Amino acid sequence: MFLPLQANWRFLDNDTDPGATWFNPAFDDSSWRLGPGVFDARRAANGAAGVNCRDTALYGLGAVGTCINLNSATTTNTINTFFRTHFNYWANPSGAYLRLSGKMDDSAVIFLNGAELTRAGLPAAPAVVSKGVFGAAQGGRTVQDSEAQDVVELAVPTLAPGDNVLAVMLIQNTPGSPDLTMGLELDAYLTTIAPKLAVLGPDLFATYTLSYTGILQENSQLQSAGWTDVSTNFDFLGYYYVTPITNGATKFYRSVFR
């Protein structure tokens, strides 16, 4: 997992415009508040973490890490809340796909390294999404409490080796909406794989190395059921996994994404 739900984010929740370059990597966000996900606001919730905040987020996101403002200084709903965080991608980004999952209540535009990456609950690009405008006026959605999480997998030409900056503009849908939630986690995988499998010598040891994000599984039969994870001894960077095989027995191996 490159970015868990509980990761720290810088965020701006005072209903002010951070400027045109707020999602760029070089933007100075040091004056923004800092806190861990999941981010939540709920009118009159009165959770332990603060007024207008739940203790547990909806959509299966788990415990709330940080309460954000629901209302602006003029007591109307905060239209936009802005978030920024960093994650380190230590593999070759060529051919990489990102998997983003979580929930944007009500909607959001997500940026990676200064370029728009995807949208949640909004018309697709090139439709214009503006700051300071409620989502309903821009084709945005109203999120229901029982909805599933937002999940998207996509190729990312702006993914870079090393430090990456992820930025989110969360958008409230209407002036009377009672809550806000931003919970996001990120993982990555490659479409190009290079596993190697060999059986060595009279002791019949199977060795398996893998050079992409995957879970190694084994089975005594080539079938859909009965696969067992062996990833407790496995690593993203190509851990050398060895398992004994009884003379005359058969073992099958596969790698899967989680």
pLDDT in tens, 34-55: 999 999 999 888 777 677 889 9
Residue reference for tokens 């909004």 = 122
- Asked if residue 182 has pLDDT above 60, the reply is yes
| Architecture of the 8-190 domain | Sandwich (2.60)
From 63, 68, 36, select the one nearest 53 (Cα to Cα). 68
3 state DSSP class of 89: strand
Mean pLDDT across the chain: 82
What is the rounded average pLDDT of the residues 72-80?
79
**Tens-place pLDDT, residues 99-139:** 899 999 999 999 999 999 999 999 999 999 999 999 999 99
pTM of the shown model? 0.75
* Cα–Cα dist 125/217, whole Å: 40
Helix (H) or strand (E) holding 205: strand 205-209
Contact 197, 164 (CB under 8 A): no
- Asked if residue 140 has pLDDT above 50, the reply is yes
For residue 30, what pLDDT band results from cuts at 50, 70 and 90?
very high
- Asked if residue 167 has pLDDT above 50, the reply is yes
* Cα–Cα dist 237/158, whole Å: 22
The reply to whether omega before 105 is within 30° of 0 (cis) is no
144 by Cβ neighbours in 10 Å (0-12 / 13-18 / 19+) ranks as exposed
Instruction: Please state, for a pLDDT cut of 70, what percent of the chain lies above it.
Output: 76
Task: Give the range among 16-30, 77-91, 240-254 with minimum mean pLDDT.
Answer: 240-254
For residue 202, what pLDDT band results from cuts at 50, 70 and 90?
very low
